[in-house]
A and B are shown apart, each in its own frame.
Chain A
Amino acid sequence: QVQLQESGPGLVKPSETLSLTCSVSGGSIGSYYLSWIRQPPGKGLEWIGYMYYSGSTNYNPSLKSRVTISVDASKRHFSLKLSAVTAADTAVYYCARDRTTLMGMDVWGQGTTVTVSS
């Protein structure tokens, strides 16, 4: 059973870069995508972007200029980098195995809270 776990700093200063890691255990994400999603306080879910197992990426147009998703050589640690953060980037960040538009996001991490504040 594949499990995902997000990790990273809980506090980031405005204008700095938010960096999170999604660690995969109990298997691999297989030939699927790894998506990042966030939920600002009191708001709904927002898709940030994904990386395909081959390494290709696709980002939400509203965040594209600031987002980078990458993976290490083991394919077990996916990273999310969001640059020039503001208070509007304060949110719970989730990673999820994305089995495409046919099957949806079927495995999610517990989420990690990131606060942007000086």
Chain B
Amino acid sequence: QSVLTQPPSASGTPGQRVTISCSGDSSNIGSNYVFWYQHLPGAAPKLLIYRISQRPSGVPDRFSGSKSGTSASLAISGLRSEDEADYYCASWDDSLSGWVFGGGTKVTVL
């Protein structure tokens, strides 16, 4: 059972906007930054969003992150076939003094 809660799946057609939620509590998302990782099958996870809404160099601006209270969201606009992947949210947890992850959301492009 993951500390952060994500929906197991999300889907959309090419060009659509897809949003993935990530729910935590006051010891993690509520008081720390949120990060998002993209995990393509057979590949290493890739940092997609850091510090809630910042994109590392090379990440398209189709990906955006936000946070409100103890929840966060990742939005993918202009959905493309190459966006099919698992997406994980992560945050530092002050109670555990460690990183916690969500269970992952599989995005399917229909």
Chain A positions within 8 Å of B, measured between CB atoms, are: 35, 37, 43-47, 49, 58-61, 94, 96, 98, 101-106, 108-111
Chain B positions within 8 Å of A, measured between CB atoms, are: 2, 32-33, 35, 37, 39, 43-47, 50-51, 56, 88, 90, 92, 96-104
Given the interface pairs A44-B104, A45-B88, A109-B44, the reply to whether A103 lies near B99 with Cβ below 8 Å is no
Given the interface pairs A102-B33, A102-B51, A103-B51, the reply to whether A47 lies near B45 with Cβ below 8 Å is no
**Measured between C-beta atoms, what is the minimum distance from A62 to chain B in Å?**
9
**Measured between C-beta atoms, what is the minimum distance from B79 to chain A in Å?**
22
Number of A-B contacts (CB under 8 A): 65
Q: Would you list 19 pairs from A and B whose C-beta atoms are within 8 A, ordered by A residue?
A: A35-B99, A37-B99, A44-B88, A45-B45, A45-B88, A45-B101, A45-B104, A47-B99, A47-B100, A59-B98, A61-B96, A94-B44, A102-B33, A102-B51, A103-B50, A104-B33, A104-B35, A104-B90, A111-B44
Given the interface pairs A44-B2, A47-B99, A103-B51, the reply to whether A108 lies near B104 with Cβ below 8 Å is no
**Measured between C-beta atoms, what is the minimum distance from B22 to chain A in Å?**
12
